[in-house]
Structure 1
Amino acid sequence: MDDLKYGKRNKRGDWSPNEPVQTAPLFQFPPRLRALLRWIPHYFFPWNAIFAASAVAYWAWVIPPVERMQTIGIGWAAWLYAVNAICVLLFYGAFELHLYVLKRQENRFKYNGKFPADQKSKAFWFESQNIDNILRTFLSGVTIWTGIEVVMLWAYANGYAPWLSFAENPWTLALVALVVPIIHEFHFFCVHRLIHTPFLYKWVHSVHHNSVNPSPWSSLSMHPVEHLMYLGTAFWHLILPSNPILMLYQLHYAGFGAIPGHVGFDKVELGDDKLIDSHAYAHYLHHKYFEVNYGDALIPLDKWFGTWHDGSAEGEARMQARYRQRKEKLAAREARKQANGATE
Structure 2
Amino acid sequence: MTIADTDPNQETQTKTEPGPMSREWHWHPELPVKFASYWNWPPNFTTLGKWAWQNWLQFSDRSIFLGLAFLVAFLLQPVGPDQTRFAFGWVAHVFARNWILLLIVAGGLHFWFYGIDGQGKLLKYDPRPYMKRKNALFKFGYQTWDNIYYSLVFGAPFLSLLECFLRWMYANDYIGTLSFAAHPIWFVALFPLLALWQSLHFYVVHLFLHQPFIYKHVHAVHHRNVNTGPWSGMSMHPVESFGYLSAILIVLILPSNPVHMLFLGYWLMLGAASSHSGYEAIWAKDRQALLLGAFFHQLHHRYYECNYGNAEMPWDKWLGTYHDGSEDATKRTRNRKREMHAKAK
TM-score, length-scaled by structure 2? 0.88
The aligned residue for residue 337 of structure 1 is none
Structure with the greater alpha carbon radius of gyration: 1
Return the match for 1:228 from 242, 251, 270: 242
Corresponding letter in the other structure for 2:12: L
Shift in Å, 1:43? 3.2
Shift in Å, 1:150? 0.1
Return the match for 2:156 from 122, 142, 147: 142
Q: Which stretch shifts more, 155-164 or 114-123?
A: 114-123
Residues 136 and 307 (structure 1), Cα distance of their counterparts in 2 relative to 1, 3 Å cut: same
Once the two structures are superposed, residues 93-143 of structure 1 have per-residue CA deviations (whole angstroms, 9 ceiling, x without a partner) of: 111111100001112222223333433221211110000111111111111
Corresponding letter in the other structure for 2:48: L
Return the match for 1:128 from 142, 152, 171: 142
Return the match for 2:11 from 3, 7, 11: 3
Shift in Å, 1:297? 1.4
Shift in Å, 1:49? 1.3
Shift in Å, 1:31? 2.7
Give SS of 1:81's match. Answer: helix
Residues 270 and 180 (structure 1), Cα distance of their counterparts in 2 relative to 1, 3 Å cut: farther
Equivalences for residues 241-252 of structure 1 within 5 A: 241-252=255-266
Residues 160 and 5 (structure 1), Cα distance of their counterparts in 2 relative to 1, 3 Å cut: same
2: CA distance between counterparts of 1:158 and 1:275? 42
Equivalences for residues 7-86 of structure 1 within 5 A: 14-17=26-29, 19-44=31-56, 45=58, 46-63=60-77, 66-86=80-100
Return the match for 2:227 from 210, 213, 220: 213
1: CA distance between counterparts of 2:36 and 2:24? 31
Shift in Å, 1:287? 0.7
Residues 64 and 166 (structure 1), Cα distance of their counterparts in 2 relative to 1, 3 Å cut: closer
TM-score, length-scaled by structure 1? 0.88
Cα root mean square deviation, aligned: 2.4
Is 1:296 aligned to residue 310 of structure 2? yes
Corresponding letter in the other structure for 1:302: D
Residues 27 and 10 (structure 1), Cα distance of their counterparts in 2 relative to 1, 3 Å cut: closer
Residues 322 and 201 (structure 1), Cα distance of their counterparts in 2 relative to 1, 3 Å cut: closer
1: CA distance between counterparts of 2:254 and 2:25? 47
Shift in Å, 1:20? 2.7
Shift in Å, 1:261? 1.6
Identical columns (%)? 33
Return the match for 1:118 from 102, 109, 132: 132
List gaps (5 residues or longer) in structure 1: 335-344
In the comparison of the two structures, how many residue pairs are matched?
A: 331
Return the match for 1:255 from 260, 269, 288: 269
2: CA distance between counterparts of 1:227 and 1:102? 29
